[in-house]
Amino acid sequence: MSRGFGREKRLLTPRQFKAVFDSPSGKAPGKSVLLLARDNQLDHSRLGLVIGKKSVKLAVERNRIKRQIRESFRLNQHNLIAWDIVVVARKGLGDLENAELAQQFGKLWKRLARNRPSHDAEPSPGTSDTPHA
């Protein structure tokens, strides 16, 4: 698996973000942050970031946080197979130092991977996982 962070590893459209927000199959709350995840039926995970001005006032801080989260994701993506992950920033995230961010996200990725239902138990792509009435 490539350890890069190319375009195919990002959530790009509002529709992709909406799918995760509407039906997350995994959550990992942390200090000043929330991770939402959903199965994506791909062989790699994708990352989306929601870091608003209300949560982190200064653009330079928002950009620093995004760089730190992307790097942490890039280094830990081998544990996060087939997730679409959205990181939602909360107030106070901009106050964390880079080392604190790296440590917190390292724990969050592990928690998300640990809470994942067995990857082998997923339905095949041709079957629906919704119950039929």
Q: Where are the domains of the chain?
A: 7-115
Tokens of 12: 């790009």
pLDDT at residue 30 above 50? yes
Indicate the fold that domain 7-115 takes in CATH. Answer: Ribosomal Protein S5; domain 2 (3.30.230)
Q: Which of 86, 90, 80 is nearest to 110 (CA)?
A: 80
Separation of alpha carbons 3 and 73, rounded Å: 9
Query: pTM of the full predicted structure?
Result: 0.80
Separation of alpha carbons 62 and 58, rounded Å: 6
The per-residue pLDDT for range 71-120, each reduced to its tens digit, is: 999 898 888 888 889 999 999 998 999 999 999 999 999 888 887 665 44
- 88-108 burial code (b ≥16 CB/10 A, e <16): bbbeebbebeeeebbebbeeb
